[in-house]
Structure 1
Amino acid sequence: MTHEAARRADEPGSSASGGEPHAGLPGARRPLWRQRGFSIFWAAQTLSVLGDSFALIALPLLVLEATGSVARMGLLTAVGGAASVVAAVFAGAVVDRVDRRRLLIACDLVRMGLYGVIPLVWLFGPQLWLLYAVLPLCEAVGMLFAVGYVTAVRALVGTGQLTEANGRLNATAASAGVLGPLCAGLVAAWSGPAAAVGVDAASFGVSAVCLFFVRFPTRSRTRTETPTATNAPTPTNAPTPTPDEQPGTRTGLWQDLRTGIVFLYGHPVLRSLTVLLFVFSFLTLGLNDLVIYHLKYDLGHDDGTVGTVMAAGALGTIAGALLVARIRRRLGFGATWTCSVAGCGLAFAGLGWASDVPVVAALSAVFLACAAMGGTCSMSLRQEVTPEHLLGRVTSAFWTLHYAAAPVGAAVLTWAAEEQGTAPVALAAGAICVLLAVTALLTPIRRAGRP
């Protein structure tokens, strides 16, 4: 979840500093819908998310149908999450060294092949070992794609339209996420979860074709000044880049990670966000498994109901993504991010106690709406305040640090739910999320980006 800037940072045509658009980005003054590269990129990601939402439901259902254990579902989530953390250590260095367009296309093609194996093997019977082999690889490749995705958005639209662009990407991805889970639930009910994974594989192929027609602006080989947003906190103790941090200079992977960590530590708001999100991710990575288990075993519903609830929940993501830029302009980053985390906690606390499907769907929508607002805010801030040539490394360091404990959290959360039940576990996790929001009021996040 990113740090917000002030009003002018969110207005089309303005730079993050409130002056001219970022140099080298000729489309920065035009409306997003008139920028061809962004429009194609937008379509590619929407299609990819449409298919990916199939796997979001199908993979846990494959495990649940074979074992009946929410702890085994959580273990698969944890294994995939651990692979993401390991990949995040190196992802920033890779993204900052290679052609972004080729990297994104390659990631899509690799995931298409890996996910495509699952429905073929499942024709001969369930093979759980395959999921534990394929998912970590897909998650690692997905982390490379995600870091490249963050840098690609800024390259396409510039700093002045980042929040708007991120909001639109998240909103349309969520729109696809409404149809995706609904269809995934129906496909899983009719043909089995493995068939739904096959749809996900095909979506990555379509995304790769779309990305082939996107052209990113050439990255500058000279160091640029750090773009800072109006009313956004300046990294007063951020380090001055050393020669090995200059664009075009080759350094070791661990040095690249250290460079990103040093930048995060030097920015008061990013430092606070990283610490708080470390705990938030630990608590929430296993939420999807918890909801599916609650619907299937606690409430006794079928795969179609799971898909319907997930689709209804995705409506919350749409609402949050569409509202975030307007709310941020009015309230500033600090209030928007803090309220978002508190909303996530309250919704999470109620999920385990909800006994009616509509209530579960509504609470899921509230959680995802708040998560979308907080996530869009924090990503936009990181893009705004980070120099272009460091963006991949800073993003990689940020995700590595705040996501490091999430796989363990998913395993612990689902194990506790199997032992103690979903209701007390959800209440405890939600209460801690609310406590995180209160803690944020004692950090520089509170004063960040006030209108």
Structure 2
Amino acid sequence: MTAPLWRNREFNLLWTGQALSELGDGVALLAMPLLVLALTGSPVAAGLVGTAAGVARLLCRLPVGVVVDRVNRRRAMIVSDLIRLGAFAGVGAAILLDRVTLPIIVALAVVDAICGSLFGTAEHAALRSIVPVAQLPLAMARNEARSHGTSLAAPPLGGFLFSLAHFLPFLGNAISYLASLIGILLIRKPLQSRAGREEGEGGYAAAIGEGLRFVLTNPFLRAVVIISAPLNFALTGVTFAIVVTLQRNGTAPAVIGVAGTLVAAGGLLGAVVAPVFQRRLSLAALGRLICWAATLLLGVSALLTSSIAAAVPLALVVFLGPACNAALFGHQAAITPDRLQGRVLSVMFLVSNSAAALAPVLVGVMVSSWSGAAAIAVCTGTVGISALVATFGSGLSTVPAPVEDAREEDHQQPVASWQGRDGQP
């Protein structure tokens, strides 16, 4: 009999360490542009930091997938934490000594983005080695709750620490990486199977090609990518459109902040109840539900752009997100061979998030040229593409069975399949 997830020592160590690390990340994410504004007074310079981090994250996504499959994942995570710990501690010291400059902050943002992509991909890939396949969707749901909870708590904490002393958010993030590092070191089980370790035959292009082929030739994974790209674009675009439109209408910044809190709270609540959705709905039903609900609710947001009420329908969509993400990516982890986990995740993240990265620019143009309501309406139309694919495509309904990796003596936990309510594996 499989033990409850809350008694899984390795998962709890990883989860707790990453909860602290993500809280530190959120604190630093707020502090970086504030520090640049304090140094330069330039919004453009502050935006440069975020842009540099985004570009670095995008460029390293595929290489990171190869690294995660070809090196020891535990070591990759440890090295990533050590580098970020040193980088944030160093910048904190530079602030104390009044030696910090814009290039230093940009370099910090780039290093953080690259190491964060490496650690995040390795963590996601390692779940299959420490969590039984039957519990992967629940583990993903708890990770979703962690992310939404820290995103809700980090901004006010970051603002408070920055107001006390500019170096405190950076020192706090360095300490959070130390907590993450300790958690990884305490995990006893290997974070990848010996049989699944990619030995590195062939070059980088061949390795990436194998990951691409696995995603594109698998009907389920292909459907997830096609559905998630327009959906992520729409959610990012609508969030940006609401903020810009409220600001143009003269809404107080504190009120705009309430809108953001509503959305974050919707995600946190959705992560808490995600296991209920997973027990009662199949993968296909969850995918169709969020797509059609988003199409309807985002359309309602387009009618409410004059007030923060526009954030309420968006919060309801975000409420459904954790259950869908946990179920779909939990099954992705189950059906992907261990040796391909990093590359498959990198391909899926790259395709799914690239469209979202373009959303603020495109939506900004639409808001300036037309209106916030028109921009949200266009975003709603893109979600309709996801809804049609989820409904009439066969990918979500053709759910492959989990793959069993040979685990030898380093993996003693059983590998069991799990089923949705409709009996699909």
TM-score (norm 2): 0.79
Aligned to 2:203: 252
Q: CA deviation at 1:415?
A: 4.5
Higher RCO structure (Cα 8 Å, ≥6 apart): 1
Ranges in structure 2 where 5+ consecutive residues have no aligned partner: 400-419
1:265 aligns with 2:216: yes
Structure 2 Cα separation of the partners of residues 288 and 258 of structure 1: 34
Q: Deviations over 1:9-43 (max 9, x none)?
A: xxxx5xxxxxxxxxxxxxxx111121211111111
Structure 1 405/341 Cα, relative in aligned 2: closer, same or farther at 3 Å? same
Aligned to 2:72: 99
Aligned to 2:397: 447
5 Å-filtered alignment, 1:185-196, equals 185-187=159-161, 190=163, 196=169
5 Å-filtered alignment, 1:159-198, equals 159-187=133-161, 190=163, 196=169
The one of 331, 339, 343 equivalent to 1:389 is 339
Aligned to 1:140: 114
Structure 2 Cα separation of the partners of residues 305 and 253 of structure 1: 49
Q: CA deviation at 1:410?
A: 3.6
The one of 306, 318, 330 equivalent to 2:268 is 318
Aligned to 1:16: none
The share of aligned pairs that are identical, in percent, is 24
Structure 1 150/202 Cα, relative in aligned 2: closer, same or farther at 3 Å? same
Asked if the contact 1:44–1:208 (Cα under 8 Å) also holds between the matched residues in 2, the reply is yes
Q: Deviations over 1:401-424 (max 9, x none)?
A: 333444333433344445555443
2:62 partner letter: V
Instruction: Report SS of the residue matched to 1:248.
Output: coil
The one of 267, 270, 277 equivalent to 1:327 is 277
Q: CA deviation at 1:251?
A: 3.1
Aligned to 1:234: none
Aligned to 2:132: 158
Structure 1 278/324 Cα, relative in aligned 2: closer, same or farther at 3 Å? same
Q: CA deviation at 1:395?
A: 1.4
Between 31-40 and 342-351, the greater mean CA deviation after superposition: 342-351
Structure 2 Cα separation of the partners of residues 176 and 62 of structure 1: 21
Asked if the contact 1:91–1:147 (Cα under 8 Å) also holds between the matched residues in 2, the reply is yes
The one of 298, 319, 322 equivalent to 1:372 is 322
The one of 349, 362, 382 equivalent to 1:399 is 349
Q: CA deviation at 1:148?
A: 0.3
1:253 partner letter: Y
Structure 2 Cα separation of the partners of residues 299 and 119 of structure 1: 36
Give aligned pairs, total: 397
Aligned to 1:233: none
Aligned to 1:207: 180
TM-score (norm 1): 0.75
Aligned to 2:19: 46
Instruction: Report SS of the residue matched to 1:160.
Output: helix
Structure 1 273/63 Cα, relative in aligned 2: closer, same or farther at 3 Å? farther
Aligned to 2:408: none
Aligned to 2:413: none
Structure 1 379/194 Cα, relative in aligned 2: closer, same or farther at 3 Å? farther
1:301 aligns with 2:252: yes
Instruction: Report SS of the residue matched to 1:251.
Output: coil
Instruction: Report SS of the residue matched to 2:134.
Output: coil
Structure 1 179/308 Cα, relative in aligned 2: closer, same or farther at 3 Å? farther
Instruction: Report SS of the residue matched to 1:222.
Output: coil
Aligned to 2:416: none
Structure 2 Cα separation of the partners of residues 342 and 289 of structure 1: 21
Structure 1 408/311 Cα, relative in aligned 2: closer, same or farther at 3 Å? closer
Asked if the contact 1:91–1:392 (Cα under 8 Å) also holds between the matched residues in 2, the reply is yes
Structure 2 Cα separation of the partners of residues 300 and 193 of structure 1: 28
Aligned to 2:405: none
The one of 13, 37, 45 equivalent to 2:10 is 37
Asked if the contact 1:78–1:411 (Cα under 8 Å) also holds between the matched residues in 2, the reply is no
Aligned to 1:221: 194
Structure 2 Cα separation of the partners of residues 155 and 207 of structure 1: 18
Structure 1 134/422 Cα, relative in aligned 2: closer, same or farther at 3 Å? farther
Structure 1 430/105 Cα, relative in aligned 2: closer, same or farther at 3 Å? farther
Q: CA deviation at 1:286?
A: 5.6
Asked if the contact 1:111–1:138 (Cα under 8 Å) also holds between the matched residues in 2, the reply is yes
Structure 1 119/361 Cα, relative in aligned 2: closer, same or farther at 3 Å? farther
Q: CA deviation at 1:136?
A: 3.2
Structure 2 Cα separation of the partners of residues 351 and 290 of structure 1: 10
Structure 1 Cα separation of the partners of residues 102 and 310 of structure 2: 29
Q: Deviations over 1:343-400 (max 9, x none)?
A: 345555555744444x355345324323323322221121011112221222122223
Asked if the contact 2:57–2:113 (Cα under 8 Å) also holds between the matched residues in 1, the reply is yes
